[in-house]
Amino acid sequence: MQAARRLRQARNRLEAARARIDTREWVVARRERTKHLIELGGLVQKAGLVTLADDDRAMLYGAFLDLAARLQGEDAAQAKLLYRRRGARAFATEAEEASRSRSAKLKALNTTSDTEA
């Protein structure tokens, strides 16, 4: 009885390990797509759209449709350039803030350890 249970558990572990290392083309493509979609969702969250739209999916979808229309319109090149610059500036600002925050934490840790010594 226990031997059968252990055998089932070992088989389940083996199948789980196989699933983790599955390198078939469609599996790899699915994982890449999933990762990409998660990253896009993170950008939606990071931009504050979820909160601003009160998590209303119809409103978010409508906003995305409006954005897509603008990016296909007459001034598409200018709009893309504007959005790209705005996004790059926001990423740079966040990186600087994160760097300053890390530096402040390290300084605080060093100050604390100096006073304890």
What is the full per-residue pLDDT of the chain (117 aa) written as tens digits? 899 999 999 999 998 888 777 778 888 899 999 999 999 999 999 999 999 999 999 999 999 999 999 999 999 999 999 999 999 999 999 999 999 998 888 888 887 766 665
Place of tokens 């409103």: 59
State the pLDDT at residue 116: 64
State the pLDDT at residue 113: 66
Q: 71 and 79 in contact (C-beta within 8 Å)?
A: yes
Calculated CA dihedral for residues 26, 29, 35, 41, nearest 10 degrees: -90
State the pLDDT at residue 115: 64
CA 65/CA 63 separation, integer angstroms: 5
Boundaries of every domain in the chain: 1-46, 55-117
Instruction: Show the tokens assigned to 13.
Output: 């572990």
The candidate with the shortest Cα–Cα distance to 3, out of 14, 13, 18, 11, is 11
Query: DSSP characters for 44-100?
Result: HHHTTHHHHTTT-HHHHHHHHHHHHHHHHSTTHHHHHHHHHHHHHHHHHHHHHHHHH
